[in-house]
């Protein structure tokens, strides 16, 4: 039976995404100095103000206001007419130490290596299908790409659309055929913040012309668009007031944008601002890694992986796999889940080690999705803070290090052969 499915994305200048990026920038700044930092950083942004709050246990010393302003500057809020800009916004910091009641269930005991307990209870999901090269749902993939390319135009090709401001949203509806395969793009919605125009009519015509003539052809293949494709471009009309001046933003309010656009499932936990001891984040990455490798290995056309934890307990309380009836193995989903649980070490410390999650790699995840991204390696600079005591005097020593780290390691297809061998594919 044919059907429609819709997903949305938002730009890095959307208020909630600004908050996510600040939270992850604070996390990265602490991990740069202390890889064992425990961070749960929440951010609120509104007109002319940023509030950074949460729980932190770290040896790092970070100038939080500097991190906040640099993040806002990079996003593009650098004009006072936005009523929120990097140079003039106020920054309030309210960070305190992590609850010892939580920490005692998480701290690793050296005598039981890899037995670091989960930072919270809950269930996390990973999903993959074959609709795109990234093994992501098509509606979400195109929504993200529209927003990334619009930001690229705003920052690097401003002569094409010189009126663009940082806040924007996209939404794509895909029409599926009777076999559940993507058939065409049914509807595209793009709303972008813009400078003042002399005429609202002229503004709407110009933005529609540029979005349909410049942006969309760069992202969506022509064969998926036809004369019946519907376009809603700035459907409410004028969109000058935006960003934190238009709406307050909070960390963790775009969890569906961050994951699978409504496909599969979501456990409810946000990612940004949390270090990897929080399984909300690390186990969600691990579940995506498993689902993507299952689909790439040919185990199934589509896969949803669920893992669940109890706070302070290392091993997951359950592992579940749903192939939606697309399994190619002749096994039940329960039997597939048994193989997965045996092959993939899902204890928190093992996940951290597998993906290098003590490195400051999280800022790039905070806009345009945590999943479906291209893994890469990059040389980064870190500082290790050490205390040295001589003649009763304590001195702080900062040691500079340069090393390559893996970004988006959970997107690597490094278990395909093992899965094919395990399932005799």
Specify whether the CB–CB gap between 33 and 61 falls below 8 A: yes
C-alpha–C-alpha distance, residues 398 and 17, integer Å? 32
What dihedral angle (degrees, nearest 10) is formed by the CA atoms of 408, 409, 412, 415? -150
Catalytic residues: 14, 16-17, 42, 55, 169, 239, 247-248, 253-254, 274, 278, 280
For the record, the structure tokens of 265 come out as: 């499932």
Tokens found for residue 277: 């001891």
HEC string for 265-296: CCCCCCCCCECCCCHHHHHHHHHHHHHHHHHH
DSSP letters spanning 200-247: HHHHHHHHHHHIIIIIHHHHS-GGG--TT-EEEESTTS---S-HHHHS
Q: What is the DSSP letter of 409?
A: G
What angle do the packed helices 333-343 and 279-296 form, to 10 degrees? 120
Question: What one-character DSSP code corresponds to residue 195?
Answer: -
3-class state of residue 43 by DSSP: strand
Instruction: Answer yes or no: are the C-beta atoms of 168 and 14 closer than 8 Å.
Output: yes
Residues linked to residue 402 through DSSP beta bridges, in sequence order: 381
CA distance 365 to 34: 20
Instruction: For residue 6, give the H/E element and its range.
Output: strand 3-10
Contact 13, 243 (CB under 8 A): yes
| Per-residue tokens: 72 | 């806002």
Largest CA distance in the chain: 81
Nearest Cα residue to 163 out of 87, 239, 264, 51: 239
Selection from 105, 168, 172 nearest residue 143 by Cα: 172
Which position has the token pair 């529609």?
A: 208
Contact between residue 421 and residue 329 where contact means Cβ atoms under 8 Å apart:
no
């Amino acid at each position: 039976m044919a059907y429609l499915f819709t997903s949305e994305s938002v730009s890095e200048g959307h208020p909630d995404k600004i908050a996510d990026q600040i939270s992850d920038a604070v996390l990265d700044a602490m991990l740069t100095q202390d890889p064992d930092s425990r961070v749960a950083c929440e951010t609120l942004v509104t007109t002319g103000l940023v509030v950074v709050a949460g729980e932190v246990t770290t040896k790092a010393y970070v100038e939080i206001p500097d991190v906040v302003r640099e993040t806002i500057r990079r996003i593009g809020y650098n004009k006072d007419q936005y009523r929120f800009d990097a140079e003039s916004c106020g920054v309030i910091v309210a960070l305190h130490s992590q609850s010892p009641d939580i920490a005692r269930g998480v701290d690793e005991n050296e005598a039981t290596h890899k037995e670091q307990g989960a930072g919270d209870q809950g269930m996390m999901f990973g999903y993959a299908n074959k609709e795109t090269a990234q093994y992501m749902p098509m509606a979400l993939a195109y929504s993200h790409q529209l927003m990334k390319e619009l930001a690229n135009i705003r920052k690097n090709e401003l002569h094409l659309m010189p009126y663009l401001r940082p806040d924007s949203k996209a939404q794509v509806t895909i029409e599926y055929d009777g076999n559940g395969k993507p058939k065409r793009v049914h509807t595209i919605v793009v709303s972008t913040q813009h400078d003042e125009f002399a005429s609202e009519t002229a503004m709407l015509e110009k933005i529609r012309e540029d979005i349909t003539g410049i942006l969309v052809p760069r992202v969506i293949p022509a064969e998926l668009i036809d004369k019946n494709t519907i376009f809603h471009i700035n459907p409410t009309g004028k969109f000058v007031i935006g960003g934190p001046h238009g709406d307050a933003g909070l960390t963790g309010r775009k969890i569906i944008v961050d994951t699978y656009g409504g496909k599969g499932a979501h456990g409810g936990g946000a990612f940004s601002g949390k270090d990897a001891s929080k399984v909300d984040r690390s186990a969600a990455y691990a579940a995506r890694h498993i689902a993507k490798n299952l689909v790439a290995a040919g185990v199934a056309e589509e896969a949803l992986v669920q893992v669940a934890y109890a706070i302070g307990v290392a091993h997951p309380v359950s592992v579940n796999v749903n192939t939606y009836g697309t399994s190619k193995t002749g096994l039940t989903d329960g039997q597939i889940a048994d193989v997965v649980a045996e092959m993939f070490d899902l204890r928190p410390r093992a996940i951290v080690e597998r993906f290098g999650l003590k490195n400051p790699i999280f800022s790039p995840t905070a806009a345009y999705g945590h999943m479906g991204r291209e893994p890469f390696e990059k040389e980064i600079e870190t500082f290790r803070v050490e205390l040295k005591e001589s003649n009763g005097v304590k001195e702080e020593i900062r040691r500079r290090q340069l090393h390559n780290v893996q970004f988006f390691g959970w997107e690597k297809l490094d278990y395909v052969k093992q899965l094919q061998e395990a399932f005799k594919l």
